[in-house]
Amino acid sequence: MPGEGGQCLVHGPLPRVPILRLLPSASVHYAFSASVAASIAGRPCDGAANPVSGPTIDGTAVDPAGSYRISVNNFLADGGDSFTVLRQGTNRTGGGVDLDALVAYLEGTSASAPQPVPALDRIDVN
């Protein structure tokens, strides 16, 4: 997916969901402006102000012309929940059903040792 598409990915669901924050991988950081998002709700990504700024991966700025591999379930990859920008992905590969992956993950964890809550400092919302 092009780097520019990653910013549109966060903006993409806005017509349907006024403010939707994705929880990216620990190496991904960006700032999200709730006020800009509110001002463009219902408008397509192209030509609208972008509520996402300063995206980085491992501390390196995302290149809008660069190419990046992302991982999502098949529902989102096919544009579900208004993530239509994900249809632009190339070299797509399939995998198992996400429910099966969740069951396998939960079966491999201990109920007496819950997983830690993900850090919430990856996205700055202003």
* DSSP per residue, 29-97: EEEE-HHHHHHHTTS-STTSPPSEEEEEETTEEPPTTSB------HHHHTTGGG-GGGGG--S----S-
pLDDT digits (tens, 9 = 90+) for 44-53: 666 778 888 8
Whole-model pTM: value is 0.60
The first and second tokens of residue 6, run together, are: 């990653």
Percentage with pLDDT > 70 across the chain: 69
Q: Tell me the CATH architecture of domain 3-125.
A: Alpha-Beta Complex (3.90)
- Mean pLDDT over the full length of the chain: 76
- Do 30 and 56 contact (CB within 8 A), yes or no? yes
Question: Pick the residue with more confidence: 112 or 54?
Answer: 54
pLDDT at 19 over 50: no
- Side by side, which strands form the sheet with 52-57? 60-61, 52-57, 28-32, 123-125
| 8, 83 contact by CB (below 8 A) | no
Residue 15: pLDDT band with limits 50, 70, 90: very low
